Amino acid sequence: MNNSRLYFVRNIFPNASNPCCVSNITLILQKLQNTMANAISTSVNIPRCLLLNSNGSLITIEQPLSVPSYLDRFDPQTLSLLEHIPINALVTNIAFNPEKYFIGMSGNSTISVFTKGVSNNFLVYVNNINAPSTASMSAVRDMIFLNNGQTMVVASASNNRLYFFSLINNTNYTMTSYITLNYIAPHGLLHVNDSYFYATSWTNTSIYAYNYNATISNWTQTLFVNAYTTSTSYAAHVLIDDCNRRWFTIQGYGIRIYNENGINLGNWSLGAGYFDTLLLDNYVVLLSNTVNSTSTRIDPQITCDDG
């Protein structure tokens, strides 16, 4: 598979060798809407986060109402199911940092780390990551990695905190600090660079920016955008494309798109349940929907020559 433009999924941003493919976001959205009738969809039981592993496979985690949960691996071109791996726990979110899956566990607010087994449909347990009991996490959501994996940031939704962990060996992290937030339910995280990241507020339907201030050795918070739509819309995830646009997935609405200054460039009303979004080459969109229990692939049939 030619993944020449997967750099924006993996948070490596535009430069001279990776130019903006199509600057006309209105054209992209029109083509996506026009090709939805030809979308590929597959049934997945309450799919959550979407990610690509190091082999380019599409990964999601299922969040059923009872155990087992499942880690699913798909072909991102056809959405053919390649693996359906049971996990004997209720799960919340998943992250991938080279060759390891980090899975948030619902019951005990632990992050469990796994590697892929040699055979299909098999994970190898590595260890659990916890905060101290005096500052325990509650409702683990997104996880991101800074400084080549030396730092992990975790959104903890129920107690409105961001936790920071440091790598102590190649398999384990220890908590170094946390930030108590002035907004409710941090959820999605996006690593922009090692001193800048975004966090979404599930309840407030907002994106907050965090910038590391080396002078005071602290993170400063600013509101990037408030995208409140209705009382039944929730801020799920955000990604950045090859033209430096922010695609903000809002459950209960769809996707709103902003430039680097928070100016709205376009909107895509999709309806209920859309939880996460990935972009592949030529603006192929992958979506997870927790209400309809589907994962969907939409190919707008667009090339850089269109832009």
Average pLDDT of span 106-135: 91
pLDDT band at 124 (very low <50, low <70, confident <90, very high): very high
Domain topology for 21-306:
Methylamine Dehydrogenase; Chain H (2.130.10)
Q: What is the pLDDT of residues 1-47, one digit of tens each?
A: 333 334 344 444 433 335 899 999 999 999 999 999 999 999 999 99
**Coil, strand or helix at 255:** strand
Q: HEC string of 85-129?
A: EEECCCEEEEEEECCEEEEEECCCCCEEEEEECCCCCCEEEEEEE
* Between 283 and 14, residue with greater pLDDT: 283
- Per-residue pLDDT, 5: 37
Domain boundaries, the chain: 21-306
pLDDT band at 307 (very low <50, low <70, confident <90, very high): low
User: How far is it, in rounded angstroms, from Cα 163 to Cα 165?
Assistant: 7
- Per-residue pLDDT, 172: 86
- Per-residue pLDDT, 47: 98
- Per-residue pLDDT, 216: 87
Q: What is the pLDDT of residues 131-154, one digit of tens each?
A: 999 999 999 999 999 999 999 999
Q: What is the pLDDT of residues 285-302, one digit of tens each?
A: 999 999 999 999 999 999
pTM over cut 0.85: yes
pLDDT value at 167 more than 80: yes
The tokens for 237 are 């995830």
The tokens for 182 are 């002035």
- Per-residue pLDDT, 16: 34
In the DSSP assignment, the letter for residue 227 is: -
